[in-house]
Amino acid sequence: MKSIIVHGGAWDIPDDMLGDHRNGVSSALSAGWDILTNGGSALDAVQAAINKMEDDPTFDAGRGSFVNMAGQIELDASIMDGRTMRAGAVAAVRNILHPITLARAVMDKSEHVLLVSDGAMRFAREQDIPFCGADDLLVGREFERWKEIQTRPAYSGREAFAGSTNPGDTVGCVALDDQGNVASGTSTGGTPNKYPGRVGDSPIIGCGTYAVNSVGGVSTTGWGEAIIKVVLAKSIIDAIDMLKMTPEDAAQHGISILHSRVEGYGGVIVLTKKGKFGIAFNTPRMARAYMSDEISEPVVTV
């Protein structure tokens, strides 16, 4: 049984950006599904799908990421192997197009789970992970957004999600391979104009990413400060495991907790060990796509 699901962020995606979001998540889904259908691992499928979205300037991950208060682009990512429960994550890294690849290296080639900033970039050099220029990550849309934000008297990360009208294009993927292994990953540029060094939920295991073979996997997107407070990804896994919820009900349960307890906004994708999907969000739209052996063609929607 093979299954894969991807997301490209939960927010009020404008009508004129719907096509780019559909194409972006569809392309990512195809990259991951191709690996699964050729006998590849869930981990490789997750990394490939997220790499595809990190390359795509449509999303807030890799190329196209938001600019922080200091005019820099700082990136976060995490990946988790449900078979071994090993995980790797990086936060506040600069000049790396594919932070999910660096997170995978932390998982595979170190004893650690999370490396940040200069330490993470030192590790990247040791592992021969390519660096890029800041101009390779910055797109005109985000430069103009950053300049406009500087004219406001106050702007917070919560503002980016409270009204659900500002972008939150964090990307993620969960996959199940023919060996019964689950993997999950998430990659982001964070929130617009964030304070330098700010870290959201995406690189924090249990918050932005979680996977365990006996239950399934989750990737989240949204207002990271709120998601961290409710440990959203792990809470959804526990709802499936302990409360015996369906993935769809567990996803809705997680978003309900996010909103009722901390007034949070966001979205989640869920994939169980049996290849069943769950999707929930409390923003107007969320880009997502999924495919499995049980359906005839990919489902792509925003």
- Domains of the chain in start order, with CATH, are 3-295 (3.60.20.30)
* Whether residue 101 lies in the annotated active site: no
Per the structure block, which two tokens stand in for 209? 């990413």
Query: Above 90 in pLDDT, residue 293?
Result: yes
In the set 37, 84, 151, 170, the catalytic residue is 170
pLDDT for 20-33, tens place per residue? 999 999 999 999 99
Asked if the model's pLDDT at residue 156 lies above 60, the reply is: no
pLDDT digits (tens, 9 = 90+) for 132-153: 999 999 999 888 988 888 887 6
Q: What is the pTM of this model?
A: 0.96
- State the average pLDDT over residues 266-278: 98
